[in-house]
Amino acid sequence: MSKNIVFIPSIIDERRLSRSSYNQFSIDSWKIWCDKNDCELFILDQLLVPMEEMKITWQRYYLFDILDANDIDYEQVLMVDADTIVHPDCPNFFNIVNYRYGVVRNVGSMDWICRSIENYSKYIFDGNTIPFHNYFNGGFQVVNKKHKPIFSQMLSLYNTKKEHLLAVQKEFGTGTDQTPINYLLHQNEVDVCYLPFEYNMCDMPRVEILTPDLLFTKIGWVYHFCAIPGGDSITHQWMEKTYNELYMTKTK
């Protein structure tokens, strides 16, 4: 019987062991949520190709091939970053998305978003652009079988324009896959379900909710610990504190 899947890329990088260690807080939280909501958890813990050839943010678009190769049937799939923690009472967003392409608009640096759109427009997408107000974060994407062509297009884009993509990423620091997937959804007129910020609360320091009393846990469901000043060790501290508050204190 097919189920909804939560798919988390979690690769142990010897150069960033501290980052790999905090991934477990994410995995453990999603495992509990999946059990509660009759979903399956799938962890991508092995690289398909060396990181030097393709970053994990691009490799994750092999998602459908990976599930098929493992004989895993599925209805909808959440592809989510390993620096997220889900609240145990998070509603079942699969029911809300209802077989559309589910994302959350990116709340963060509008300067970065606009620069990323502009540079990818100029160097990758032949001058075409996308509406910045619908720009979404790539760390939370709900997909299903009808979105296989989009993921195939992402991989084809990388394989045919790899050098150009890497040059843009290096020169302008405007991200890896996130802006390209925004472009492809817009160009293909994909039916998108924009979930509210509560389902992917990224860049929390910028919106002043990453506070010692864990304010973010009181106003949302999925906490994305990206863009945390101080690096991996500080991110680890925040994720450990959040996990302990949501999961460990309730079991004592």
Could you give the domains of the chain?
3-251 (3.90.550.10)
pLDDT classification of 54: cutoffs 50, 70, 90: very high
pLDDT band at residue 92 under the 50/70/90 scheme: very high
Residue 252 binned pLDDT confidence (cut-offs 50, 70, 90):
very low
**Phi, psi angle pair for 99, to nearest 5°:** 70, 15
Per-residue confidence at 108, pLDDT binned at 50, 70, 90? confident
pLDDT band at 22 (very low <50, low <70, confident <90, very high): confident
Mean pLDDT of the region 143-171: 97
> Quick check: 20 pLDDT over 70?
no
Neighbours of 31 (CB within 10 A): 16
Checking 127-134 for CB contacts under 8 A at 24+ apart, the result is 128/183, 128/187, 130/182, 130/183, 130/186, 131/186, 133/105, 134/105, 134/182, 134/186, 134/192, 134/194
Query: Is the pLDDT at 15 greater than 60, yes or no?
Result: no
Whole-number Å distance between alpha carbons of 55 and 181: 15
Tell me the helix, strand and coil percentages in the chain, rounded to 5.
50, 15, 35
- pLDDT greater than 60 at residue 110: yes
Residue 11 binned pLDDT confidence (cut-offs 50, 70, 90):
confident
Q: Please tell me the predicted confidence (pLDDT) of residue 1.
A: 80
Average pLDDT over residues 209-229: 96
